[in-house]
Amino acid sequence: MTSRIPYHSHPTPRLGIWQCLPGAHLSHTLSRSTPNLAWILLDMEHGHISDDAMHASILALAPTNVSSFVRVVEGSTANIKRAYDAGAHGVMVPLVESKSDAERAVRAAKFPRPGTKGGGGGRRGAHERFGLKNGVEYLQQANDSLVLIVQIETREALEHVDEIAAVEGIDILFAGPFDLGNNIGYPMLDPENPPEELMAALMKILKAAHDAGKQAGIYCVNGEQAKRYIGLGFDMVNIMNDVGALMGHVALAASNALGEKGESGPSGRGGY
């Protein structure tokens, strides 16, 4: 079946943006910023997005050519199911550190088999977000189309990355370079010049994903950094977050107005 999810229709590398601030209008505005945007991630772990705000943003993105992804607070079955049932095209699960963690996420995210997710026939919603006639069509397409992303951001996860990548139902391994660097003792103090040890860890994640036939994603703070990781072979690349974009452009406009030289403002760097 042809996937109705915009993410799959965009060419690789698939660029996206992190949304930390709540607002359906913000989500829709970001989706219109460039035709090169494949996804917007609604960050419920470290962002300011509530359950209601998550639902509203997913609805706002439904008619666009940009996929709605949700980073859940933590990888419980309830959180994962809630995001998918709201109509999210993908879910990102933080702090996946082992094969068993990955398998638990798959069970919550996928319909039988390999998962155990129920169809939720008593409510309307998810299938309508995809322009499908009914829940039966949704169930037929969901496992192949909906995206499950697991974050690799600790030493333990790095040690088990090949086992995690091999789990059926995992679609993307996503590297969180800031948290990973802190965890392994080589923090990314300068995004333009990361420690060699951290770069080796990121390349290990990339290789594990591709060896398993999966995609590899990474969080970047700006387009220049994103270009570097695209060149290394990453498939799903964040180019900035909404807070950094807003603050940076305001700071740049103020500097230009005063004839000042300097940085454009906050780069959007953070613990991902």
Contact 222, 267 (CB under 8 A): yes
Task: Please report which helix (H) or strand (E) contains residue 219, including its range.
Answer: strand 215-219
CA distances 76 to 63, 71, 116, Å, are 29, 12, 13
Residue 78: exposure state from Cβ atoms within 10 A (0-12, 13-18, ≥19)? exposed
Task: Summarize pLDDT for 9-48 with one digit per residue, the tens.
Answer: 999 999 999 999 999 999 999 999 999 999 999 999 999 9
Question: Which one of 25, 46, 55, 160 is the catalytic residue?
Answer: 46
**Helices and strands (DSSP H and E) totals, the chain:** 13, 8
Task: Please report which helix (H) or strand (E) contains residue 138, including its range.
Answer: helix 135-145
Helix/strand/coil (H/E/C) assignment for every residue in 163-217: HHHCCCCCCEEEECHHHHHHHHCCCCCCCCCCCHHHHHHHHHHHHHHHHCCCEEE
**DSSP SS3 for 227:** helix
Q: Where are the chain's structural domains? A: 6-257
Cβ-based neighbours of 8, under 8 Å, separated by 6 or more = 145
- Measured distance CA(178)–CA(129) in Å, rounded: 34
Active site residue 46: yes
Q: What is the mean pLDDT of each run of 10 residues along the chain (272 residues)?
A: 82 98 98 98 98 98 97 97 95 98 96 61 51 56 85 98 98 98 97 96 99 99 97 99 95 94 55 57
What is the pLDDT at residue 196? 98
Fold of the 6-257 domain? TIM Barrel (3.20.20)
Rg (CA), the chain: 18
What is the pLDDT at residue 184? 98
What is the pLDDT at residue 111? 79
Contact 254, 212 (CB under 8 A): no
Cβ-based neighbours of 167, under 8 Å, separated by 6 or more = 99, 102, 103, 106
pTM of this structure: 0.90
CA atoms within 13 A on the CB side of 180: 29
What is the amino acid identity at position 61?
Answer: L
